[in-house]
Structure 1
Amino acid sequence: MPVNLTIDEGIATIVLDRPERLNAMDQEHYRLLSEAWIEVRDNPAIRVAIITGAGERAFSVGADLKSFAGSPAPLDQVWQPQKDMLLNRGLEIFKPIIAAVNGYCLGGGMTLLLATDIRIASSSAVFGLSEVKRGLIAANGGTQRILRQLPHAIGMEMLLTGDNISAEDAARWGLVNRVTEPDQLMQTAQDMARRIAINAPLALQASKELALRSYDTDLASGLRSEQVANRLLQTSQDLAEGTKAFSEKRPPNFQGH
């Protein structure tokens, strides 16, 4: 399968599996990736997800332009924005998502990265929004997220020049959480996923949703939303388990209820 999803102890791993094309994606890949994201969203057995690319050369270079050139999607699909919805296009997934970046992370690969929550990069990773070099814009969130995640001047330089930056520079500007040696990339991502997965699933999802909605919410409304969320969580079995485990000095066994 060109997009593989496996689940192990609450951690879903999505692999873009087209290394011979630097994990570039055509329409079929995007459809399968949409299905994988919906599985992450809807499967209660999944608590956190990791996305990466097959091979050592690329996370993803985004759209396979050869497959799209000269054959644009039918015009009526412009008014079908929910069709094959993707994470970076607006699919709401409040479970934590980690990107493990191994090599080129360009174009649509970069816009996918911008929609993830935590990013681990190989020292060989390269990042860029190269669309303007091809006569396009960085769609699927590139123009909308870059300035929220990088200083204005740095984000605009990437967006308007289409030039790449190194893993070291990505870490310096806060685009990624940490940089590892290539052979430690997945282990580091999995360790992070395990640290997240042991926490209360409902609290994780509420925390992520509130944090993301804070971009478009005034402070008073956001504080009120926090109150409502905590009041709901106070009725959960997970809170009772967390409190009991703390008093008994043992790890909690959260069930997401």
Structure 2
Amino acid sequence: MTTATTGASPEAAPEDDLLLERRGPILILRLNRPESRNALTGELASDLGAALIDAENDPDIRAVVLTATGDRAFCVGMDLKVFSSGVKRERTDRQKAGIVAFRRMIRGEIKVPLIGAANGTAVGGGFELLLSCDLVVLAAKGKYGLPEVKRGLIASGGGVVYLGTRLPLALALELALTGDYVDGTRAQALGLANRVVPAEQVLDEALALATSIAANGPLAVEATKQAVRLAAGETTAIFDRLSELEKVVFATDDAKEGARSFIEKRAPQWKGR
């Protein structure tokens, strides 16, 4: 990870998948895998979680903005090439802690207010990252949705939870079971975004929201965030059940076939097992 100071543009070596930039009390986290449309890997997830731990432990950070590099996509979810390879790498203690924090993030449990700023399309795990944020700014012409069922997978990063607790049942099931996409305007109409603007204005709009939040009492903000999320019904029990379902679905032949067929650009051949 590379950090830039206030007023500076983040710079990174090619291997830096996450860029950090400070602007006063606001920390900007930027997914930086544009060649892969910012697809998520275990390493990127752990880096993101580790950065959020540092933000929670820094009293001078009052809000975090999550955005991405490039103009093609915010994040297209899990890197299916990495998933289909089945390769698992040994993690350091910091990376393990980062994964735990990443899971807290998708449950909405990070203490610092988190604002998602999607500069482009966000699907699958990328859309789930946005839904886990406290506030969301979308690019008007981006595409957003949970296509996991098209790959024989389940949206295990909290997407089905957030749709189920925030939308009427029929709409939640339509988006989750078809895997179809909506644009920014439709997402806002459904109540899944706070602001929808042209892509080039997304970061500025998110920073304006972050600045407004950062001006408030930090302890009051933290307590208010927790109370509102509890009232919304996004409880630990729901996420625990989702974790159980994830283990079952991701271990199936269909899950592997869904990833392979996507990479090979062909229709999947489901076996129902």
* TM-score bucket of the superposed structures, by smaller chain: 0.7 to 0.9
Q: SS in structure 2 opposite 1:69?
A: helix
Q: SS in structure 1 opposite 2:99?
A: coil
TM score, norm. by length of structure 1: 0.77
Deviations along 1:215-237, one digit per CA (max 9) or x if unpaired, are 459xxxxxxxxxxxxxxxxxxxx
What is the aligned partner in structure 2 of residue 23 from structure 1? 38
| Residue 103 (structure 1) aligned with residue 120 (structure 2) | yes
Is residue 122–residue 143 contact of structure 2 (8 Å, CA) maintained in 1?
yes
Q: Distance in 1 between matches of 2:169 and 2:97?
A: 30
Q: Distance in 1 between matches of 2:228 and 2:181?
A: 29
Q: SS in structure 1 opposite 2:230?
A: helix
Whose radius of gyration is greater, 1 or 2?
A: 1
Q: Distance in 1 between matches of 2:144 and 2:226?
A: 26
Q: Name structure 2 gaps, 5 residues minimum.
A: 1-15, 90-95, 235-273
Residues 44 and 83 of structure 1: is their aligned pair in 2 closer, same or farther, counting only changes over 3 Å?
Answer: closer
Deviations along 1:94-146, one digit per CA (max 9) or x if unpaired, are 22111111111100011111111111111122101011111100002122221
- Name the % identity: 36
What is the aligned partner in structure 1 of residue 22 from structure 2? 7
Is residue 24–residue 60 contact of structure 1 (8 Å, CA) maintained in 2?
yes
Residues 27 and 177 of structure 1: is their aligned pair in 2 closer, same or farther, counting only changes over 3 Å?
Answer: same
Q: Name structure 1 gaps, 5 residues minimum.
A: 75-80, 218-257
Question: Equivalent of 1:212, from 213, 216, 229?
Answer: 229
Is residue 103–residue 126 contact of structure 1 (8 Å, CA) maintained in 2?
yes
Superposition deviation, residue 90 in structure 1 = 3.3
Q: Distance in 2 between matches of 1:26 and 1:9?
A: 29
Q: Distance in 2 between matches of 1:88 and 1:149?
A: 18
Residues 179 and 90 of structure 1: is their aligned pair in 2 closer, same or farther, counting only changes over 3 Å?
Answer: closer
TM score, norm. by length of structure 2: 0.73
Question: Equivalent of 1:174, from 176, 191, 197?
Answer: 191
Is residue 88–residue 140 contact of structure 1 (8 Å, CA) maintained in 2?
no
Instruction: List structure 1 segments (4+ residues) > 6 angstroms apart after TM superposition.
Output: none
The correspondence of residues 46-125 of structure 1 with structure 2, limited to 5 A, is 46-71=61-86, 73=88, 84-85=99-100, 86=102, 87-90=104-107, 92-125=109-142
Q: SS in structure 1 opposite 2:21?
A: strand
What is the aligned partner in structure 1 of residue 151 from structure 2? 134
Q: Distance in 1 between matches of 2:34 and 2:140?
A: 18
Q: Distance in 1 between matches of 2:195 and 2:106?
A: 25
Q: Distance in 1 between matches of 2:44 and 2:65?
A: 17
What is the aligned partner in structure 1 of residue 251 from structure 2? none
Q: Distance in 2 between matches of 1:52 and 1:213?
A: 26
Aligned residues: 212
Kindly report the root-mean-square deviation, in angstroms, between the aligned alpha carbons of the 2 structures.
2.1
Is residue 53–residue 60 contact of structure 1 (8 Å, CA) maintained in 2?
yes
